[in-house]
Amino acid sequence: MSSESPQTPSYDPAAHYDHITAAWALLLGEELHYGVFDHADDPLDVATRALTGRMVAAAHLDEAPSGTRVLDVGCGSGAPAVAMATAHGVDVVGITTSGVGVETARKRAASLGLDGVTFEQRDGMDNGFPDASFDVAWALESAHLMRDRPALLSEMARVLRPGGRLVLCDLLRFREIPFREVRERRVDFATLRAAFGDAHFESLDYYVEAVRGLGLEVEVADDLTQATLPTFDRWRANAELHHDAVVDLIGVEGHAAFVGSCDILEAFWRDGTFGYGIVGARRPA
Amino acid sequence: MTTSPADVERTVTDFLTRIEKLPEGFGDSTPLYADGAELDSLETAELSATLEDVHGSDPYSSGEMPQTLGEIQAFYAALPA
């Protein structure tokens, strides 16, 4: 699946994103995330914009005054950051540990001549920005790749100004998976790891309680599992449509791992093991 | 391969080396999880399966959750001859 030796695969998020960014643009679409399907026949790009729209609404960006600063934690290839800046006139700082992600995102912003959108290679679990320096801390589907979730949330809360908002959407875990099941299904879990990196999911309740514990007021906590379910059909269709190009980028094994992962995840979505959700919370003024 | 402490150590260190999680100075009292080799649940499941493949049984499948290489070696040492 890669130029790396199969004996020494890297599931580190930065290395993983460096490796898959180009292929995922073909497989997942330009925004590199799930979609929220208001209608079963919505195209993927409509659905991914709908998910971004949920985040925009939770962040109250539609009413953001000029000069609003947004920190996009785990900014991927920069598409949501660029979309936010374009549609809402906000200043966005996107951070990711992936050098390829930063480079891709910078090119995207430059090609549009956008001011006020910058991208930096930083770690969301220790972002290094001053306290109270952003109006919105935004994490779109990046939390599951950050091993120290308390540090991620604490850092997002720390940089919020009074009245600022934390918004996060991500994959969720709805039940504990006993060790015996992990062992029995280790091939499935290893396939997911090969395709999506070293991911770990939390429950919606975990995120709600965690941000409350940081002194934030929870405004949104929605389960989007059913609304995101058609995503897997669209990803499989993209894998078929772009088969040759994806194989050129991540190899036959990478392509197969991705398609297999769609099947595995869809089954987990349907049996109530995994799903998707969004949380929005506000720092009291 | 036998279940001697040396053979079990080789299985565990080979596994940790393969997944790039062999801590410096790894020994029979080094934690396998937090503050040690940092194995997560999937990696632990893979170690369990590797031990079974190589040595015919493994402590995890017997309901144990060994914390160190030494505890894995102790499991095999306690097996009937």
* CATH code for the domain of B33: 1.10.1200.10
Structure tokens given for A171: 């994959």
Closest partner residue to B42 (CB to CB) among A7, A8, A190 is A190
Domains of chain A, each with CATH number or no CATH: 13-282 (3.40.50.150)
Residue A122, CA distances (Å) to A30, A94, A284, B65 in order: 22, 9, 27, 36
Question: Does the pLDDT of residue B27 top 70, yes or no?
Answer: yes
Q: State the DSSP H helix or E strand holding residue A174, giving kind and residue range, or none if neither.
A: none
Q: Is B45 on the interface with A (CB under 8 A)?
A: yes
Distance CA B35, CA A61 (A): 41
Residue A198: its pLDDT value, please?
82
Q: CB–CB of A127/A155 below 8 Å?
A: yes
User: pLDDT tens across A60-100, in order?
Assistant: 999 999 999 999 999 988 989 999 999 999 999 999 998 98
Residue A213: its pLDDT value, please?
98
Per the listing, tokens 């790894």 go with B26
| Percent helix, percent strand, percent coil in chain A, to nearest 5 | 50, 20, 30
Residues of A with a known catalytic role:
141
Residue A11: its pLDDT value, please?
58
Residue A1: its pLDDT value, please?
31
Residue A143: its pLDDT value, please?
96
Give A226→chain B minimum CA distance, Å.
Answer: 27
Cβ <8 Å between B18 and A182: no
Provide, as residue numbers in chain A, all residues whose Cβ is less than 8 Å from the Cβ of B60: 179, 183
Q: State the DSSP H helix or E strand holding residue B1, giving kind and residue range, or none if neither.
A: none
Residue A2: its pLDDT value, please?
33
Average pLDDT for chain A: 92
Mention every residue, 6+ apart, whose C-beta is less than 8 A from residue B59. B48, B51, B65, B66, B71, B72, B75
Task: Name the 3-class secondary structure at A129.
Answer: coil
Which of A199, A55, A36 is closest to A138 using CA atoms? A55
Containing structural domain, residue B12: 5-20+27-78
Average pLDDT for chain B: 95
Q: How many domains does chain B have?
A: 1
Low-confidence ranges of chain A (pLDDT < 50): 1-9
Cβ <8 Å between A183 and B18: no
B interface test, pick of A10, A179, A185 with most B CB neighbours within 10 Å? A179
Give residue ranges of A with CB < 8 Å to any B CB. Answer: 7-8, 10, 177, 179, 182-183, 186, 189-190, 193, 198, 200
Residue A5: its pLDDT value, please?
34
- Over residues B56-76, mean pLDDT: 95
Distance CA B80, CA A86 (A): 70
